[in-house]
């Protein structure tokens, strides 16, 4: 390679790195970006490993644990994740200790999902960090925006709930089945509905009852 060609290649590489940094900055700020712009993130996707996990026999506990550690950004101790589950990346999701996720849990983790210790998630729940612009002209090339989700320790999320981009669910709270969580939920409350709203606090009296509603 000639010196001139080498310089051109270096400049092209620098330009590509600058473009990637600009896209990552937009993603971090919750601004709109397109599928083509974010294509360089494809190697971070763990979809083949997710497929493998979903087809691994329950009795192969060591193999399933190794797959979880390869799929997720971090995995705590005593993790239970009932297949099938789905993840856009996997590598952007972090699971705490004593996590229980039931069947058909979907992680739309274009950016980080952080789940604390002792969290329980019922079947058919979606955690999505990503949404799309309302105007169709802005959805060309699957244009989208992404904001991280945080689920603090000891949260319980009921069946068929959807947690939307940017939401934080506080310590110990319960999200009722079928809820759509579009805003932050404070610690130690029961919240239900579409949109999800706080209906009451969790108190010492709940130690003697079964119901959460």
Catalytic residues: 132
Stated length of the chain: 213
CB atoms within 10 A of CB 140: 11
Omega before residue 195 within 30° of 0, cis: yes
Cα gap 110→91, rounded to integer Å? 9
Cα gap 72→90, rounded to integer Å? 5
Q: Spell out the long-range contacts of 55-64 with Cβ–Cβ below 8 A and sequence spacing 24 or more.
A: 55/83, 56/83
Please report the sign of the dihedral spanned by the C-alpha atoms of residue 99, residue 170, residue 210, residue 123: negative
């Amino acid at each position: 390679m000639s010196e001139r060609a080498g310089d051109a290649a270096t400049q092209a590489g620098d330009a590509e790195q600058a473009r990637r940094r600009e896209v990552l900055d937009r993603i971090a700020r919750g601004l709109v970006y397109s599928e083509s712009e974010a294509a360089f993130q494809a190697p971070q996707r763990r979809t083949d490993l997710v497929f493998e996990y979903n087809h691994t026999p329950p009795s192969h506990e060591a193999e399933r644990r190794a797959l979880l550690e390869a799929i997720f950004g971090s995995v705590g101790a005593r993790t239970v994740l009932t297949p099938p589950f789905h993840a856009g990346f996997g590598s952007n999701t972090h699971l705490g200790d004593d996590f229980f996720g039931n069947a058909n849990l979907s992680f739309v983790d274009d950016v980080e999902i952080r789940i604390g210790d002792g969290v329980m998630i019922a079947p058919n729940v979606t955690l999505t960090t990503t949404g799309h612009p309302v105007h169709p002209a802005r959805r060309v090339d699957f244009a989208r925006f992404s904001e991280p989700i945080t689920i603090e320790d000891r949260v319980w999320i009921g069946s068929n709930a959807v947690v939307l981009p940017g939401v934080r669910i506080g310590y110990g709270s319960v999200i009722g089945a079928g809820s759509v969580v579009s805003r932050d939920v404070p610690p130690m409350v029961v919240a239900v509905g579409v949109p999800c709203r706080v209906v009451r606090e969790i108190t010492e009296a709940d130690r003697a009852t079964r119901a959460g509603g």
